[in-house]
Amino acid sequence: TITWINPSAITYGTPLSATQLNASANVPGTLTYTPDVGQILNAGTGQTLTVNFVPTDTARYNNAAKSVTINVLKATPSITWANTVDITYGTALSATQLNASTGVSGTFIYTPASGTVLNVGNGQTLSVNFVPTDAANYNNASQNVTINVLKATPTITWSNPADITYGTAL
């Protein structure tokens, strides 16, 4: 008799281990799993795990097999994006500020978008929504950071005026 219950759900990227592949038999023998230890399953519900059992005493016991199901949940990518350094009013947002990253391929959508000039103010929110290319195994992810926009110092341009004669009104 093989004893094996449906294992708890795992997240995509988690290799199968003895935690999931933990069948036992009531007599000595060899358990062989399909898929085997170390395999990474795609996300999905009700995926079949199978064990084949070959008893040590083949004269008295038959081979046996059993299947269970496991749910593999989509993974949510971790986004790395630190609060950016202060900028001065008039500076358009660019890749210098909009520089989130993750170890998963996909598209970053920033709000506000690149090229936007923010008003003066501290703690303004920059947001990113990440859409993974592999939507079958990964969820979308999002993150916010803050930025301070400092007042700009105007530049005054004034050339020395031409000489005038005493008595000439300015």
What is the total residue count of the chain? Answer: 170
Count the neighbouring beta carbons within 10 Å of the beta carbon of residue 81. 20
DSSP 8-class letter at 92: B
Q: What is the pLDDT along the chain (170 residues), one digit of tens a residue?
A: 999 999 999 999 999 999 999 999 999 999 999 999 999 999 999 999 999 999 999 999 999 999 999 999 999 999 999 989 999 999 999 999 999 999 999 999 999 999 999 999 999 999 999 999 999 999 999 999 999 999 999 999 989 988 888 888 88
Spatial CA neighbour of 7 closest among 55, 52, 51? 51
- % helix / strand / coil in the chain, to the nearest 5? 0, 40, 60
- Pairing mode, if any, of strands 64-73 and 10-11? parallel
Helix (H, G, I), strand (E, B) or coil at 166: coil
How far is CA 160 from each of CA 149, 155, 163, 168, 169, rounded to the nearest angstrom?
34, 16, 9, 16, 16
Instruction: Judge whether 28 and 56 are in contact, CB under 8 Å.
Output: yes
